[in-house]
Chains A and B, each alone.
Chain A
Amino acid sequence: MPDTLLTVQSLKKVYEASTGVVEAVGDISFEMKRGELVCIVGPSGCGKTTLLKCIAGLLRPTAGTIDLNGNRVTSPPPNMALVFQEYGRSLFPWLTVRGNVELPLRHKTLSRAERDRLVDDALVAVGLDHAHKSYPWQLSGGMQQRVAIARAVAYQPEVLIMDEPFAAVDAQTRADLEDLVRALHLDRGMSILFVTHDIDESVYLGERVVVLSKSPTWVQEDLAIDLSAERDQITTRALPRFTELRTHVYEQIQRAKRGEAVRPSA
């Protein structure tokens, strides 16, 4: 199987708002290999969410192509799972936790036992097996996001896309969830594309950090994170190398915000 999972080529997205034409995404190109955890950061309003929605097939790009596994993405591909930031609006409140995790599996040709196994497995992986009969709104924000993650995991996608999933969650819970994502990545070899505005989070989580410029967005830098695969909230964040990397990313973002970075000519 080829090593490259996702290829984004010269992606451009333009749309008309009431105030005029907005070029949300200018020219984005990058690749993602199978089994990588890639983080995308950028200044606010740089079109990160638009980029993700194009990759997820929910929006049609104005120009450029996206290929998943060699197949052109024009509509939501079947082997991709999404975790949104607004877990409250993404989970279905009339279904239990179990019901929510199970829903995407219903149309897959699986036996009942197999489906239950996947659901149980996912719930255990996120630490929510005791809550499977509860409703999402009975749970805290962090737990709800875990349900959304479990739903994505049970679906067994080739690539998991997460759009600022922990932005609406408190700091302590965020730390737990970050470790959960790393665990899923390491234990299951999941390919994860993680969008965030939190610079520390992007360096802590990612094997690569893609820094986006401000609008019209292009890839300002593609940074490799050479921290070890075993990471820990306390020790890793105290490493000098961590500090170097995060400072570097921070500086890049500041340059992006000031519009100082020069776009390499096409």
Chain B
Amino acid sequence: MPQPEVSGRPPAMLETHLIGDPVTVTADAPAIAAPRRRRQRRTARKAALGIAGILGFLVTWQLLPALGLVDPRFFPTATETLTQLGQETRDLEFWRNVGRTMTAWGIGLLIATVLASVLGTVIGLVPFLRRATHTTVEFLRPIPSVALIPLAVLMYGYQLQAALIIIVFASFWQIFIQVLYGVADVDAVARDTARSFGLSRGSRVVNLVLPTALPYLMTGLRLAAAVALILAITAEMFIGNPGLGREIVFAQSAGNWPTVYALVIVTGLLGLLINMVFRAIERRTLSWHQSVRGEDVL
């Protein structure tokens, strides 16, 4: 059977790989391993091209405002922006803002993880609950959590709690859905084996269900981590609690464009970092499991 590395139940969804991930056989590769020299050359070439791409981007960025092709007032050059970025890193307030954003992210992610794991496990294990909650879940899930921003502001003003409502609501679903499917994905043959050997229900949960669900949980965690960052920053931008998002809005209204772009780059780097860390964690727990879990975002 064809195998586009796919998961089972969560709407059979697939992942994009980060650079450096193990690559499946490509359409353009010969069907056998290349000689070692060629392989080394290939990795070197890949790195060189990647760096060339980054450089090309930076050069274009530098030239566009410098040559006046875009308005340099709103579009500072790469050097200006990167210099500003360097200055930011020397500013203590900058790091405090990073800390604030990451705190909101961290707390929101933690709450969502705990809630989703518990609820997901309980509901996933009891078929009646699964069926009963199905329509409610399918209705609540697609609600964009940003729709709750006005409500959050009403209830908590411009504080962290308002941001947390948004962050938790969105992150919750990522993990919940994954855990739900993970708990249900126990291999039927394994389950029958456990039952025939007389394992108690509790023992089955610990030895069979939880290990099966763990990779799903890790995938959910990775997805939720990315979502949580996006919403943490969004909350700061639109609710106004302190953090990187709010700084971006301030800088923009003050017309301080190098700072705006510098901070945008910082958010991108944060996103990359979070993605890499959680992907590594996920891969560790997935190492014994052949297929890659599915994904569903936001």
Contacts and interface: CB of A to CB of B under 8 A. Distances in A.
Nearest to A53: B31
Nearest to B34: A16
B254 interface: no
B2 A59 contact: no
A15 B33 contact: yes
A164 B181 CA distance: 39
Nearest to B39: A16
B36 A16 contact: yes
A93 interface: yes
A88 B1 contact: yes
B63 to A, nearest CB: 43
Interface string A1-38: 00000000000000111100000000000000000000
A189 B3 CA distance: 37
Nearest to B35: A16
A224 interface: no
A250 interface: no
B18 interface: no
B38 to A, nearest CB: 8
B32 interface: yes
A31 B1 CA distance: 35
Contacts of B36: 16
A60 B36 CA distance: 17
A89 B3 CA distance: 8
Interface in B88-141: none
A137 B35 contact: no
Contacts of B1: 88-89, 93, 137
B2 A93 contact: yes
A50 B33 CA distance: 12
A58 interface: yes
B2 A18 contact: no
Q: SS class of chain B's interface: helix, strand, loop or mixed?
A: loop
Contacts, number: 25
Given A88-B1, A88-B2, A137-B1, A59 B30 contact: yes
A50 B32 CA distance: 9
Interface residues of B, number: 10
Of the listed residues A16, A88, A89, A93, the one surrounded by the most CB atoms of chain B closer than 10 A to its CB is A16
A16 B33 contact: yes
A76 B3 CA distance: 25
B2 A89 contact: yes
Contacts of B31: 53, 58-59
Interface string A48-77: 001001000011100000000000000000
A17 B2 contact: no
Contacts of B35: 15-16
Interface in B65-103: none
Contacts of A93: 1-2
A263 B33 CA distance: 28
Interface in A74-111: 88-89, 93
Nearest to A14: B35
Contacts of B3: 89
Contacts of A15: 32-35
A18 B32 contact: no
Nearest to A24: B32
Contacts of B32: 15, 50, 59
B75 to A, nearest CB: 45
Contacts of A17: 33
Contact of B33 (A18, A53, A89, A137): A18
18 contacts: A15-B32, A15-B34, A16-B33, A16-B34, A16-B35, A17-B33, A53-B31, A58-B31, A59-B30, A59-B31, A59-B32, A60-B30, A88-B1, A89-B1, A89-B2, A89-B3, A93-B2, A137-B1
- Smallest CB-CB A-B distances: 7 pairs: A16-B35, A88-B1, A15-B32, A17-B33, A16-B36, A93-B2, A89-B2
Interface of A: 15-18, 50, 53, 58-60, 88-89, 93, 137
Interface of B: 1-3, 30-36
Given A59-B30, A88-B2, A89-B1, 10 more contacts: A15-B32, A16-B33, A16-B34, A16-B36, A50-B32, A53-B31, A60-B30, A88-B1, A93-B1, A93-B2
